[in-house]
């Protein structure tokens, strides 16, 4: 290892000894099930948002066997609001396979084979729970490494991933993998932040390429710009004698396995009259029916999509019916079903 690399690793560990104050309930945890749970919850989720979910999950399911035995609908309801429901489905599948095998895997390969576990999560669990020498690479680590070593290879390319993976593993002190992995992520979150990094007081600044050359705003580099798609959802609240029609979303799309009201999606914003002309609307409500309340509009921002949703209520006669993938449920029992956040926000109103 070169002097610059040794300096980096030593300084990260020294910094951690005096700044180990980023308190999180899963920090210093050794139970692989709790670590795995926290890592799955935190994928694409901020720490402050994920923390209450983590606490609720370990209270409801103190062991992986408890989670494995839980009914899917119950787990989805506990997950409600976190988004990315494929994560929840994979988590349950993984819990069931662990329970079936009799113990939590204790090798990197065994952990990486679990559903929903990628390279980062596998390295985090392997190093935190078992101190196995696998370096984590998340957004914080990419940023610290790119800046300190002045690397401008885009981090979202195969070449970039290869280069950073090799470097991260080269820097890893093999006997302190868990502590070091946590330390470098904390360092990225607290000191080498995306905006306004604390370079003036940073322990790495004497050898930091980006700081020395004034490049902190230019690295890390990404090759692709995130494209955000706009979608227009119109939920029809079809009420019949105190009951309401819902169905489970089964298509491979956002919110798979959650429930929703009958939905018409349009490629652009549409008022009610325009909506009535669409084949989707006419399939659901072929007869002219008056709305019973003004429509309500809500918006939800997902990573790759902005959802603009309108909710329109209709009161229907007792002979109205929908195809068999729809269910008519009592309105006061809607809380038994897991819905996407935008629908629970609407229901809270």
**Among the listed residues 58, 191, 264, 307, the single contact to ligand SF4 using CB under 6 A:** 191
**Among the listed residues 36, 76, 79, 148, the single contact to ligand SF4 using CB under 6 A:** 148
Contact (Cβ atoms closer than 8 angstroms) between residue 265 and residue 291: no
Catalytically annotated residue among 39, 48, 72, 239: 39
Q: Which is nearer to ligand SF4, 192 or 285 (CB)?
A: 192
Q: Token pair of 181, please?
A: 């992995």
For the segment 6-45, give every residue that binds ligand SF4 (CB under 6 A). none
Residue 125: phi and psi, rounded to 5, are -65, -45
**Among the listed residues 88, 137, 192, 246, the single contact to ligand SF4 using CB under 6 A:** 192
Q: Tokens 């084949």 belong to which residue?
A: 279
Catalogue the E-assigned strands of the chain: 229-240, 243-248, 259-260, 263-266, 291-301, 305-315, 326-330
Measured distance CA(80)–CA(336) in Å, rounded: 12
Largest CA distance in the chain: 80
Q: Token pair of 286, please?
A: 């072929």
Confirm or reject binding of residue 202 to ligand SF4 (CB under 6 A): yes
Measured distance CA(240)–CA(56) in Å, rounded: 35
Confirm or reject binding of residue 147 to ligand SF4 (CB under 6 A): yes
Contact (Cβ atoms closer than 8 angstroms) between residue 298 and residue 345: yes
Confirm or reject binding of residue 197 to ligand SF4 (CB under 6 A): yes
Residue 163: phi and psi, rounded to 5, are -65, -45
Told to judge if 55 belongs to the known catalytic residues of this protein, a careful annotator would answer no
Contacts of 121 (CB under 8 A, 6+ apart): 36, 39, 40, 43, 111
Contact (Cβ atoms closer than 8 angstroms) between residue 134 and residue 177: yes
User: Cis peptide leading into 220, omega within 30 of 0?
Assistant: yes
Q: Token pair of 170, please?
A: 């080269």
Give the x/- contact pattern for ligand SF4 in 107-146, rule: CB under 6 A. -------------------------------------x--
Q: Which is nearer to ligand SF4, 126 or 172 (CB)?
A: 172
DSSP for 268-292?
Answer: S---HHHHHTSHHHHHH--S---EE
Give the x/- contact pattern for ligand SF4 in 204-233, rule: CB under 6 A. xx--x-xx----x-----------------
Closest listed residue to residue 258, CA positions, set 80, 30, 62, 24:
80
Active site residues: 39
Query: Where does this chain bind ligand SF4 (CB under 6 A)?
Result: 144, 147-148, 191-192, 197-199, 202, 204-205, 208, 210-211, 216
């Amino acid at each position: 290892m070169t002097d610059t690399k040794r300096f980096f690793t030593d300084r990260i560990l020294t910094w951690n000894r005096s700044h180990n104050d980023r308190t999180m309930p899963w920090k210093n945890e050794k139970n692989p099930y709790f670590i795995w749970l926290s890592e799955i919850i935190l994928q694409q989720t901020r720490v402050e948002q994920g923390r209450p979910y983590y606490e609720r999950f370990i209270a409801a399911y103190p062991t992986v066997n408890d989670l494995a035995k839980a009914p899917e609908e119950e787990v989805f309801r506990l997950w409600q609001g976190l988004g990315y429901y494929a994560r929840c489905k994979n988590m349950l599948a993984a819990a069931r396979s662990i329970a079936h095998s009799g113990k939590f895997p204790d090798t990197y390969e065994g952990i990486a084979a679990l559903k929903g576990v990628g390279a980062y999560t596998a390295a985090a669990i392997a190093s935190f729970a078992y101190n196995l020498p696998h370096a984590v690479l998340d957004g914080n680590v990419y940023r610290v490494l790119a800046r300190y070593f002045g690397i401008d290879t885009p981090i979202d390319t195969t070449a970039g991933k290869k280069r950073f993976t090799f470097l991260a593993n080269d820097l890893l002190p093999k006997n302190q993998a868990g502590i070091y992995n946590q330390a470098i992520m904390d360092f990225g979150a607290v000191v080498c932040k995306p905006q306004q990094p604390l370079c003036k007081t940073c322990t790495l600044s004497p050898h930091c390429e980006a700081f020395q050359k004034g490049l902190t705003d230019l690295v890390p580099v990404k090759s692709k710009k995130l494209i955000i798609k706009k979608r227009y959802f119109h939920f029809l609240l079809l009420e019949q004698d105190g009951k309401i029609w819902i169905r489970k979303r089964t298509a491979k799309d956002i919110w798979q396995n959650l429930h929703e009201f009958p939905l018409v999606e349009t490629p652009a914003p549409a008022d009610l009259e325009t909506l009535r002309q669409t084949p989707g609307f006419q399939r659901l409500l072929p007869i002219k029916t008056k709305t019973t309340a003004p429509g309500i509009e809500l918006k939800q921002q997902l990573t790759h999509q902005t959802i603009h949703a309108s909710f329109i209520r209709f009161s229907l006669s007792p002979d109205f019916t929908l195809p068999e993938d729809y269910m008519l449920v009592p309105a006061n029992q809607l809380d038994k079903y897991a819905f996407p956040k935008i629908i629970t926000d609407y229901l809270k109103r």
